[in-house]
Amino acid sequence: MAKGLDVGTMNIICATKGNGSISFSQQRNAFLEMESTDLTKQMLDNGRVLYTQRGGVINVLGEDAFKFSNVFNKHIRRPMKQGIISPEEKDSIPMIKLIIERVLGLPDKKDELLYISVPANPVDNQLNVLYHGKTVEALATKLGYTACPIDEGLSVVYSELSDSNFTGVGISVGAGMTNVTVAYMATPIVSFSIARGGDWIDEQVAIATGMAKERITYIKETDFSLSGEHEIGSVQGALAVYYDALLTYVLQHLKRKLSETAPPDAEFQIAIAGGSTRVKGFTELFEERLKETDLPIRISSIRKNRFSTSGTDSKDPLYSIARGCLIAALSKEATLNPDSSSSSEAHDSKHSSHKPEPIVVTNRS
């Protein structure tokens, strides 16, 4: 069965389909270096924590890296920065490889199809996205998958805009980057990325307040809303300032890129996704800044998946990218094997292979 993989700066998420529902497996894209002792190893083994050991050093990977960083007041290390493999982290590729292996698992059959989200070329930075994309593809191929890249913004269109015939704007606000794709009937018209996201917000707030970046991230994820008033000089107030700045920056670039094209005369829905959109009040602030931007296309509505604080809601915007990758993979699989059962999960063959039917998500693993 085909799979979808979102390789994000903060999270790596795999989407798979079975028995009429989509399941997600997830790990934080991070690791924490600790001293290796017998007691430490026993504790990690008992807790079934994912880690590696080299000499006298243990690297704790994934979600547990964040947990241990708060307990021991140590800085986590990140294999990716600004949406791509970090050139500043010598252990980036080995760590990403282990996390991807844990999230994906081995393919059920030889050359199983896997669509992987990759960032579009940035418009405000000279980041080498090609190397990142090819490296992630190679890691999946070594596991036995047939890996296919898909722009992250387009994966949002696949995931969220089936009812508008995949015509609209997909915006993914991740930790390292913001990706934007404008598509007409599933065909990209404009696709680009911005080298700013949730990490940029955290870094700017840390500079402004003098508080550790990890602490800022924790506050943003657990005790922050863009709605209402914020005390001047508070962390929450600084977060609101930089969220506002990021959305204004992204929409200005979208307006400029659209002015360089001749978009069709159609109504476009906007779908927003990604972990950095989970904060309360994000959609309302986005709508305010959108009205001020005056884009050269007609916008019919704005869509964002709801976020459940219980962490069990499969409509969480964090999972949109992986879900979109899976839908693209299932559609491609159906065109390659039109007689298989998966063909009923994609559009009829008279349609493009890039127009799969929507898939109802009901649970998360």
Tokens at 45, concatenated: 């083994």
How many domains does one find in the chain? 1
Buried b / exposed e along 191-201 (16+ C-beta atoms within 10 A): bbbbbbbbbbb
At how many degrees (to 10) do helices 235-259 and 198-209 cross? 140
DSSP 155-186: HHHHHH-GGGTT-EEEEEE-SS-EEEEEEETT
Q: Which band of pLDDT confidence, cut at 50, 70 and 90, is reported for residue 341?
A: low
Is residue 274 situated within a structural domain?
yes
In the predicted structure, residue 47 carries a pLDDT above the cut 90: no
pLDDT of 82-133, one tens digit each?
Answer: 899 998 888 899 999 999 999 999 998 888 999 999 999 999 988 889 999 9
Longest Cα–Cα distance in the chain: 66
| Helix (H/G/I), strand (E/B), else coil: 132 | helix
**Residue 203 belongs to domain with CATH number:** 3.30.420.40
Is residue 73 situated within a structural domain?
no
pLDDT of 8-45, one tens digit each?
Answer: 999 999 999 977 789 999 999 999 998 888 888 888 88
pLDDT of res. 58: 92
Percent of residues, the chain, with pLDDT higher than 90: 66
Is residue 111 situated within a structural domain?
yes
pLDDT of res. 66: 83
Is residue 180 situated within a structural domain?
yes
pLDDT of 324-337, one tens digit each?
Answer: 999 999 999 988 87
Q: How large is the average pLDDT for residues 145-160? A: 96
C-alpha dihedral, 103 to 82 to 85 to 217, nearest 10°: -50
314 near 282, Cβ under 8 Å?
no
Which of 64-73, 155-164, 202-211, 216-225 shows the lowest mean pLDDT across its residues?
64-73
Is residue 56 situated within a structural domain?
no
Q: Which band of pLDDT confidence, cut at 50, 70 and 90, is reported for residue 55?
A: confident
pLDDT of res. 305: 67
Q: How large is the average pLDDT for residues 279-295? A: 95
Q: How far apart are CA 116 and CA 113, in angstroms?
A: 10
CA 145, distance to chain mean position in Å, is 20
CA 150, distance to chain mean position in Å, is 12
pLDDT of res. 71: 77
pLDDT of res. 214: 82
Between the alpha carbon of residue 62 and those of residues 25, 34, 65, 77, 165, the distances in Å are 12, 14, 6, 11, 37
Range of the domain at 24: 3-29+78-345
Is residue 57 situated within a structural domain?
no
Residue 358, CB-side half-sphere exposure with 13 Å CA sphere = 14
Q: Which band of pLDDT confidence, cut at 50, 70 and 90, is reported for residue 72?
A: confident
Q: What angle do CA 90, 276, 268 make, to 5 degrees?
A: 120
Which of 29-33, 70-74, 158-162 shows the lowest mean pLDDT across its residues?
70-74
pLDDT of res. 242: 98
Q: Which band of pLDDT confidence, cut at 50, 70 and 90, is reported for residue 180?
A: very high
pLDDT of res. 357: 36
Q: How large is the average pLDDT for residues 238-261? A: 97
Mean pLDDT of the chain: 87
In the predicted structure, residue 306 carries a pLDDT above the cut 80: no
In the predicted structure, residue 364 carries a pLDDT above the cut 90: no
